[in-house]
Structure 1
Amino acid sequence: MTIDIEEPISRVDLSSAFEDIARQRRSVYFYLDQDVPGHLLERALQLAVLAPSHHHTRPWRFTVFHGSARAELAAAYEKAAVRIGWHPGRARCRAFDAPAMVVIGCVPDVSHPRVRPLEEEFATAAATQNLMLALTSMQLSCALSSSPLQLSDEVEQAAGIEGGRVVGVLQIGYRDPERELFKRPQPGTAGVVRWR
């Protein structure tokens, strides 16, 4: 499936729609035991890859562990936990925290003479934010993790990321309304924005 980026934008108030999506996006850690439809994941990933990248290198990589395929991720978590001295059983369970888990990688285009690895990571971060906002617009919830467990060689191998590295794992699902959201500070620009 591809998205026609040249198709005309509808006449809805884009600013208001974006503000609603940005404000609704929250990190969610408790999900219903309900499958995430594959077509929604595919649509969100198609929107993720609309992110900008220097020299059109597209360094992002997304590996989806959905449903029973999460067992592969669980095995990688378990191996990583044994190596770094974490509890392997608890680590294994982390792969089942949500109905879908997406390993996000960054593979810099080292063949391009003007590409800088830091720019490739920025592009991957932009694609990740696109993905999270797209999921939010579809009434799906997510949370990004980047512990030593997720950023391990074992997860990199399970996800098939060659020539780069894992930058995080995104858990995706429908939020469990019985579980309270973690409180977050009121976002604001005070102290983080300067005008000259």
Structure 2
Amino acid sequence: MANEITFYTNPQSRGGIVRWMLEELDIPYQTQVLEYGEPMKTPEYLAINPMGKVPTLTHGDRVITESAAICVYLADVFSDAGLGPNNDDERARYYRWMFFAAGPMESAVVNKKIFGELAGEDKHQGVLGYGNYQLTLDALSGAIMSSPYIAGERFTAADVYIGAQLGWGLQFGTIEKRGEYQEYFGRLSQREAFQRAEALDEALQKEASET
């Protein structure tokens, strides 16, 4: 199987999470920018990702979609970079909080952005997978304050995924500006790979605005 990686993205999408992960790995990859609308719905792209969304990653003949899954896949396949868990204690926290962020956290934040505070939210906690918005943020706060990084003492792919979500939420006001969130994301945003990823996507946005 060819080892070529192709990254399908739009600079104004969750592709920013995957871009950061790729830059942390410091591996070669090709970028295919897709505009929203028809370019994401062509038969050729739907054959790769039937959802017609980005990001998508192809690695030779393999196709990986969903930002959290892409981050986990890359950490596993390129394990020499040390972005996956090193032991069972890290592994437990790594998977727990990676998929907490991909499930309950994303649902809570998106529902609040679209619908506001859900009426009778407490009454529907058994139906809503995240319980309620405040409960979700409180759980994440506890995890962030318990150790320097989400899986423990070391930066991992889980920090890429969770850090990117927090950064976006803090910027656009969908997540409360809690001190622990700002301190955590502030440290992560100083990483060279994060800054390279931001610069690459900013350049793509500028290019798009000039065409």
- Give yes or no for TM over 0.5: no
TM-score (norm 2): 0.26
Quick check: which one's helix share is greater?
2
Quick check: which one's strand share is greater?
1
Q: Which structure has the higher relative contact order (CA within 8 Å, separation 6+)?
A: 1
